Structure 1
Amino acid sequence: MVWEPTDAAWEENLSAARAYYAEAGTLAAPVTATMLDKPVGQWLANCRKKGGLGKNQTVARRRAAQLAAIDPDWNPGALGWTVDWQRTYAAIAGLVATGAGLEEIVPGVTADGVDVGRWLQRQRQHVVWQGLKAGQRERLSGLGVTPLPPEQRAGAGKAPRGGSAAFERGCAALAQYRARTGSVTVPRGHIERLEDGTEIKLGVFLSNTKTRRAGLAADQLKVLAALGLDWATA
């Protein structure tokens, strides 16, 4: 027997929220998100609204604590930023947690259809960084993200120029791999160690570079073509 239907519905939706967090690593869900046959995205959006946790303040505090126990950042608006910002940050945190280096998250790298590389590049711009809330800067810094100096500008949507240290290291790793194996076909999980001990996730570098080919500079394409990558000349 269900004595309080609203409590039963709350628990069902809370279970869906837990399942969503286990899969996505965040409760900053889009309103279209579903889980366990529940419209969890819309439900969370409703919870964030004024009075969305109920009119009874004791109940509302208990429910807020339950959501915070799943994800302390479940309500980004209360922290001073948007759900979209939190969701993209969580996507990058997820990539880092699974082994991706920040140097690999470049424009053209996507997660759930969002160009997280371009987003990350923009956050690093000096003007944008200074405009972030302290909590946002703290979260990004926790991932190892640092702002660009005022005189530098990261062109939105453009890949690093040929002088980029990350690009040069990737090309050096490819040249070394090609010299040793005679091939430029690299398994995605392959890690190439340079002479100075630097480890380059060469397979990931090539995959990401090919994905953002349209944004590469002409001199970068020439370097890649010279190394034997046919798609760089197509």
Structure 2
Amino acid sequence: MNTKDRAREIHARLKGRYPAPAPALDWTNAWELLVATVLAAQCTDERVNKVTPVLFERWPDIASLAEADVAQLETVVRSTGFFRNKAKNLKAAARRVVDVYGGEVPRTMADLITLGGVARKTANIVLSNAFNVHEGIAVDTHVKRLSFRMGLTANTDPVRIEKDLMPLYPRAAWGEINHFLVYFGREVCPARTPKCASCELNDICPKNGVGK
């Protein structure tokens, strides 16, 4: 099985497993998704979902967060880890959205990655989920691990992995393939204890010497 056929088979099987993929983060608009995704770096979605209601009650919109006291913001996001950098980046992002983009979250990769704390992964998540715009594939730790394990890439750098994955899937599927691999990485194929015996991709997995 060549790489493209394997990629399509992975997509088809995981689409059957996850018919309605969506981020595990709680959000109601593009700004809330951006903030939640920034906070989710090196933190669980469950923890972030406990923090964001408090954050958005205190600073309910972009303009209010742009004026936030950084020390107070640090206190609210402390439990997500790396809280000083996250607080600084979120305030800087809000300030730039207000000053440069008229208070509206920008809708292009080029603009989003100019915001504090926003790199390609976060930008891809915001674009695909909030705006249905697909400029790339978000590569987090699960996508990175499974893409390598399933023989979809030989690279370990997220940017190169993204470039390897994009030609394997139609543009319309770029958002959902991230969700599929994240869910599957958590439930079936974690880093230390993959459940190979019960894995529905086992017969096409190069790691097991099959599906080549």
TM over 0.5: no
More relative contact order in 1 or in 2 (CA 8 Å, sep 6+)? 2
Q: TM-score, normalised by structure 2?
A: 0.28
Q: TM-score, normalised by structure 1?
A: 0.26
Q: Which has the larger radius of gyration?
A: 1
